[in-house]
């Protein structure tokens, strides 16, 4: 799911929550406070980058193209031993960044993923014959690109959050009007006159 799609889905959920507020709550509570509460549940979290660390290099298996005519049976890539290392970036708003990366082919092809559970961005470098200067260059370029994408993502998140609370409040106001109509309608209802003559007798 892309970030734009995720934000649209969050807006839909927020408005559904507003629409589901019970009449007695709408008529007795402050609508602004209700809107703020719904916003807290559905507002998008901006991305903030924190500490950067390097993991210890470890062995890995890699698929390489292989020479023509020397591929493994079935034309599959040739698997070789290699080494991998990850640059780990602690992050707030990991879920937001994961949606953004899901929409960004450059980040995916650069081996950038998000570990939502551990709230970190992972930049992977792997090579059959690794070179420290190549890994350092890869990490530097990836980090600069991630920083530029975070700025773009946070602008989209800020615009979304700015528009969300007023939209929730407008939905609550409409729902309150309907609740007031229902209350007036209920107050005017009465049992038919024949009720006491027939069904209401002891």
200 part of a folded domain:
no
Specify the pTM. 0.79
160 part of a folded domain:
yes
Helix (H), strand (E) at residue 90: strand 78-92
197 part of a folded domain:
no
149 part of a folded domain:
yes
118 part of a folded domain:
yes
Number of folded domains that form the chain: 1
Q: Assess whether pLDDT exceeds 80 at residue 146.
A: yes
Residues 6 or more apart whose CB falls under 8 angstroms from that of 148 comprise none
| Three-state secondary structure of 33-68 | HHHHHHHHHHCCCCCEEEEEEECCCEEEEEEECCCC
Residues 197-202: what's their mean pLDDT? Answer: 60
Helices (H), ranges, 63-131: 94-102, 105-109
- Tens digit of pLDDT for each residue in 17-42? 999 999 999 999 999 999 999 999 99
- Tens digit of pLDDT for each residue in 3-22? 999 999 999 999 999 999 99
- Tens digit of pLDDT for each residue in 74-133? 556 678 889 999 999 999 999 999 998 876 777 777 789 999 999 999 999 999 899 999
72 part of a folded domain:
no
Residue 172 and residue 31 in contact, taking contact as beta carbons nearer than 8 Å:
yes
CA–CA distance, 80 with 142 (Å, rounded to integer): 25
Q: Assess whether pLDDT exceeds 90 at residue 63.
A: no
| pLDDT of the residue at 104 | 75
Domain that residue 86 falls in: 3-61+77-173
CA–CA distance, 103 with 168 (Å, rounded to integer): 27
CA–CA distance, 12 with 7 (Å, rounded to integer): 9
Q: Which two tokens stand for residue 146?
A: 């991630």
183 part of a folded domain:
no
Residue 161 and residue 43 in contact, taking contact as beta carbons nearer than 8 Å:
yes
201 part of a folded domain:
no
């Amino acid at each position: 799911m892309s970030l734009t799609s995720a934000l649209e889905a969050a807006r839909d959920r927020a408005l559904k929550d507003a629409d589901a507020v019970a009449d007695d709550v709408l008529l007795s509570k402050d609508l602004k406070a209700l809107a703020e509460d719904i916003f807290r549940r559905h507002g998008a979290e901006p991305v903030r980058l924190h500490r950067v660390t390097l993991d210890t290099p470890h062995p890995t298996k890699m698929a390489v193209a292989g020479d023509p005519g020397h591929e493994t049976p079935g034309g599959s890539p040739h698997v070789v031993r290699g080494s991998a290392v990850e640059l780990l970036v602690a992050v707030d708003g990991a879920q937001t960044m994961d949606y953004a990366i899901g929409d960004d082919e450059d980040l995916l092809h650069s081996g950038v993923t998000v570990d939502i559970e551990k709230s970190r961005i992972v930049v992977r470098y792997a090579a059959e014959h690794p070179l420290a200067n190549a890994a350092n260059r890869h990490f530097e370029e990836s980090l600069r690109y991630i920083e530029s994408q975070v700025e773009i993502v946070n602008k989209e998140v800020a615009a979304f959050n700015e528009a969300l609370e007023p939209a929730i409040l407008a939905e609550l106001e409409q729902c309150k009007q309907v609740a007031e109509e229902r209350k007036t309608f209920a107050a005017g209802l009465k049992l038919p006159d024949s009720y006491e003559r027939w069904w209401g007798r002891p």
